[in-house]
Structure 1
Amino acid sequence: AENARYQQVVERLKRLLEQERKSVRETKSVQMRMAAEQTELHAMLRKAVDEVKMDLGLGMDPSNVAEMQVFTRQDRERVLENLLSMDRTIVLLYDREEG
C-alpha cells in the first residue's frame, strides 16, 4: 500500500515536470518570436529613417547620426508615415497587440 502511494506521487510529479517543461518550451518559443518581430520592426524603422535621410541628402552613412539630430518634426512624421506605409509593420504591430 505504501509502495503504491509512492508510485502515485512519483507519477504525479512526472506529470507536473512534463507540464513545466512544456510551459518552458512554449515560453521560449514566444520569446524567440517576439525577438524576431522586434528585430524585423527595427530593420523596418531603420529603412524608413534611411529613406528620409536620402530625401534630405544625408545619405545612408551611419556616421550621419549628428545630421539625424536635426530632423524636424515633419521629417520625423515622414519616417512614421514611411514605416506605417509598410504592410508588414501593421501586421507585426497588430499581432503584438493581439498576442
Structure 2
Amino acid sequence: DRGSRPDIGAYENAPAIAQSDTARVRRGGSVTIPVLANDYDTDGDSFTIVSYSNPLGGTLTQNSDGSFTYRHRSSLPFALPRDTFTYTITDGKGETKTATVQISVA
C-alpha cells in the first residue's frame, strides 16, 4: 500500500492586464493620465509600474499614485498631432504586460 497523496492542484498566477489609454492635451499644455485605472489582475494581486518609455513631443512625470503627467513641448520645430508612450506593469510574480498611451495634441 503506497498510501494516498492529496491532490492540491497547481497554483497558476494570472498576470496583471495592462490596457491602452488615450488622452487629449492642448499644444503647450499638460494632462494627468490615470493609466492604472483600467488595468487589473484577475486573481486580485496588486500591481505596479516597472518601466515606461518617453514620448517624443513632451515630457513625462510618473506621479506617486501611478498616474503620469504629460507636458507638451510647444517649442518643437515640428508639430506632432499625436504622441505616444508605453508603460509596463507587473504583479511581482514574474510576468509583465505593456500598454500604449496615445495622446492627441490639439
TM-score normalised per structure 1: 0.25
Q: Which has the higher contact order (CA 8 A, sep 6+)?
A: 2
Higher helix share: 1
Structure 1 or 2, whichever has the larger Rg, is 1
TM-score by length of 2: 0.24
